[in-house]
Amino acid sequence: MLRVLVNADSNVDTVNSSPSADNDDMDTVNASPSADNDDMDTVNASPRADNGDMDTVNASPRADNGDMDTVNASPRADNGDMDTVNASPRADNGDMDTVNASPRADNGDMDTVNASPRADNGDMDTVNASPRADNGDMDTVNASPRADNGDMDTVMLVTELIMVIWIESSPRADNGDMDTVNASPRADNGDMDTVNASPRADNGDMDTVNASQRADNGDMDTVNASQRADNGDMDTVNASQRADNVIWIQ
């Protein structure tokens, strides 16, 4: 994969990189803030570090960790395709076997999860959902008030359940063709599998994304976008404010 980036260091064995450094195909690296580290075996990432395809990593706040076996994620960490993870608040956890999610955590395709308030839990076998939780395609669930429960075998439905479209959207939210979504006001979410969108966030064709305010994220697999960041056609990106990242050639 060819990447059009600045300050790129490719195919090195050992490196201590400064901020905004791009480190590809490394065995061991300690990355500084805003460092992009792909295809590493062992890495301790600093804040805002992007770590993809790692076996073992301890991620600091706002770290993007994809395809990891074991990870302890700090707040606002995006963790995709992990076997075991303990997620802190506002963590996005997709395709995990076992996870204990903190408040406002988005948990998709999990076997066992105890979700805190405002958690979005999709395709789970067993879950105890707190208030304002969106639970879809579950076998057994006890839903609290304002919970949206779709395609369940056993469920105790409470107040404010919309029984036609099986989705509870907030004011002025436009939600189309989504499997599991808990949209905030004025959020436009189209063709997403799992997304927890903040106000005025436009998220299109994404698998897993935790978008901040006014972030436009298109055709991304895993992204944790900051405010006003425009990220197009990227596989893994952790964009800072007003960053325009558009050209990644596969």
* Residue 94's pLDDT band (cuts 50, 70, 90): low
φ/ψ of 202, rounded to 5, equals -110, 110
**Is 85 within 8 Å of 79 (Cβ atoms)?**
yes
Answer yes or no: is 204 within a domain: yes
Higher per-residue confidence, 149 vs 171: 149
Structure confidence at residue 44 (pLDDT): 52
Q: Give the chain's domain count.
A: 2
φ/ψ of 65, rounded to 5, equals -120, 115
Structure confidence at residue 51 (pLDDT): 54
Domain boundary among 80, 95, 113: 113
Q: What is the mean pLDDT of residues 17-42?
A: 49
Provide the domain limits for residue 219: 174-233
Among 117, 116, 103, 162, smallest CA distance to 136 is for: 162
d(CA 235, CA 221): 5
Lowest mean pLDDT among 42-51, 170-179, 203-212: 170-179
pTM: 0.27
pLDDT tens digit string along 208-248?
Answer: 444 444 345 554 444 444 433 444 444 444 443 334 443 33
My answer on whether 24 and 109 are in the same domain is: yes
My answer on whether 86 and 189 are in the same domain is: no
* Residue 172's pLDDT band (cuts 50, 70, 90): very low
Q: Which amino acid is at 166?
A: W
d(CA 145, CA 166): 15
Answer yes or no: is 243 within a domain: no
d(CA 58, CA 116): 23
Torsion angle of C-alpha atoms 68, 218, 169, 65, degrees rounded to 10 = 10
Answer yes or no: is 157 within a domain: no
Lowest mean pLDDT among 37-46, 149-158, 191-200, 201-210: 149-158
